[in-house]
Amino acid sequence: MEKKLINLGIFGFGCVGQGLYEVLNKTRGINARIKKICIKDPDKPRPIDQSYFTTDKEDILSDPSIDVVVELINDTAAAFDIVATALRNGKAVVSASKRMIAENLGTLYTLQQQYHVPFLYEGACCASIPIIRNLEEYYDNDLLNAVEGICNGSTNYILTKIFEEQLDFDTALRQAQEKGFAETDPTLDIEGFDPKFKICILLLHAFGTFVQPDEVFNFGISHLNDFDINYARQRSGTIKLIAKCRRQNGHVVTYVLPHLITGHHLLSDVSNEYNGILVESSFSENQFFVGKGAGGTATGSAVLSDISALTYNYHYEYKKIAQRNSLALTNDIQLKIYLRYKKTGQVDLADFYTISEKYESPDNHYVVGMINLEKLKNAAWLQNKGVNLLVLE
């Protein structure tokens, strides 16, 4: 495939699809062209010639001249059907659909092995940061201890505007939506689902462990209020939504939670729509990756990188799986958290292992203490909108 022209069949032409079109037409290093783009709405105005478009998926999936299928749609079930069909048809596939990939990783891995075709998805995790490729190639034989960081550009943009410009939550969210960093329905971002899908994918490449997203605890930033923000400021800190997977006593711990971090923390300076990933290993110790984590061209550049890699017959080797030392998931760890609530009795303080600080006022109460992650994951009181938590570093 190295010298021949690569014909691309693309599904979806939204923010990322248009970003890919833009970066592909600005680069001179890849001998690839878009042959056909499958879209849902034929009447929607498009910024490029209508001859590119079709509404029939078979115009791509059944076309023998199309070498690479690029899947960039929002419908999870339809995306999986497209990717699975393309792999069964012997076509290389590139995708940026983190939810679809996270929910079907086991099946997608099996399809790659069965049909001997590559499936690349760097754009599904942290946009412009090449974290999957680094885990696969640079850390393939390293004993990793942790992969953690800011994996969602939308929430990081919102939190940056709150702390640096004193915007209220709703205004910061609206700005993120206007810039294309957050969807019209921002639930997956602000509730922490989007970074959870990404950390499930990174977990496989870091530790060789398959998990379903519903096994991983996520709690976002939608419960955040002014009291929490002032609590962080009074301690010279800021709040970041952090996704973690960490080796712990022969197991691996994975979660997505808001953290209160101070200025010495590397992630404290990651602002706006940028992402930051920390990799901790036994051999090479600590590395820090920073890059744009939201936006069409940022994700489009990652998709383009995967397309380029396919011209050299690249595929994921999933070396951590091959090494047969995968770690089982556990939630049996203690976290130090700040827990804010409205009134006495609203939360069960008996769930805490220890409490080191307690505060009460007419409007807000809080405690600081140690709690088991499994206990926190199953706490019904945490679903109350008047309750919020921050992990304390």
126 vs 5, higher pLDDT = 126
Could you tell me if 23 and 82 lie in one domain? yes
CA pair distance 377, 216, nearest whole angstrom: 9
Can you give the residue range of the structural domain that contains 85? 6-128+296-321
Query: Would you state the pLDDT for residue 72?
Result: 96
Q: Is the pLDDT of residue 296 over 90?
A: no
Hunting for tokens 């930033």 — which residue is that? 221
**The amino acid at 166:** Q
Greatest mean pLDDT range, 3-17, 233-247, 315-329: 233-247
Query: Would you state the pLDDT for residue 386?
Result: 94
Q: What is the mean pLDDT of residues 344-357?
A: 95
Hunting for tokens 């605890």 — which residue is that? 217
Q: Is the pLDDT of residue 73 over 50?
A: yes
Q: What is the mean pLDDT of residues 227-236?
A: 96
Do the domain assignments include residue 374?
yes
Q: What is the mean pLDDT of residues 188-192?
A: 96
Q: What is the mean pLDDT of residues 18-29?
A: 88
3-state helix, strand, coil in the chain (%, to 5): 40, 25, 35
Q: Is the pLDDT of residue 1 over 50?
A: no
Could you tell me if 344 and 368 lie in one domain? yes
Distance in angstroms between the alpha carbons of the first and the last residue of the chain: 48
Q: Is the pLDDT of residue 312 over 50?
A: yes
Query: Would you state the pLDDT for residue 3?
Result: 52
From the centroid of its chain, how far is CA 237? 24
Could you tell me if 26 and 103 lie in one domain? yes
Could you tell me if 85 and 115 lie in one domain? yes
Hunting for tokens 């307690």 — which residue is that? 358
Q: What is the CATH number of the domain that holds 355?
A: 3.30.70
356-385 burial: b if 16+ Cβ within 10 Å, else e? eeeeeeeebbbbbbebbbebbeebeebeee
Query: Would you state the pLDDT for residue 182?
Result: 83
Q: How many CB atoms are located within 10 Å of the residue 142 CB?
A: 15
Domains identified in the chain, total number: 2
pTM: 0.95
Could you tell me if 307 and 342 lie in one domain? no
Q: What is the mean pLDDT of residues 185-214?
A: 96
- Please tell me which residue in 35, 91, 196, 198 is annotated as part of the active site: 198
Indicate if 198 belongs to the active site: yes
Q: What backbone torsions phi and psi does residue 195 show, to the nearest 5 degrees?
A: -65, -25
Do the domain assignments include residue 89?
yes
Could you tell me if 360 and 316 lie in one domain? no
Do the domain assignments include residue 389?
yes
Q: Is the pLDDT of residue 2 over 60?
A: no
Could you tell me if 392 and 301 lie in one domain? no
Do the domain assignments include residue 354?
yes
Q: What is the mean pLDDT of residues 186-190?
A: 94
Could you tell me if 118 and 28 lie in one domain? yes
Partnered with residue 105 across adjacent β-strands are: none
Do the domain assignments include residue 20?
yes
Do the domain assignments include residue 386?
yes
**Structural Rg of the chain based on CA atoms:** 22
Q: What backbone torsions phi and psi does residue 324 show, to the nearest 5 degrees?
A: 55, 40
Could you tell me if 12 and 92 lie in one domain? yes
Could you tell me if 311 and 348 lie in one domain? no
Q: What backbone torsions phi and psi does residue 46 show, to the nearest 5 degrees?
A: -125, 150
Could you tell me if 314 and 338 lie in one domain? no
Residue 47 is classified by DSSP as S
Do the domain assignments include residue 142?
no
Q: What is the mean pLDDT of residues 110-120?
A: 97
Do the domain assignments include residue 287?
no
Q: How many CB atoms are located within 10 Å of the residue 171 CB?
A: 14
Q: What is the CATH number of the domain that holds 315?
A: 3.40.50.720
Q: How many CB atoms are located within 10 Å of the residue 16 CB?
A: 26
Query: Would you state the pLDDT for residue 143?
Result: 86
Could you tell me if 316 and 340 lie in one domain? no
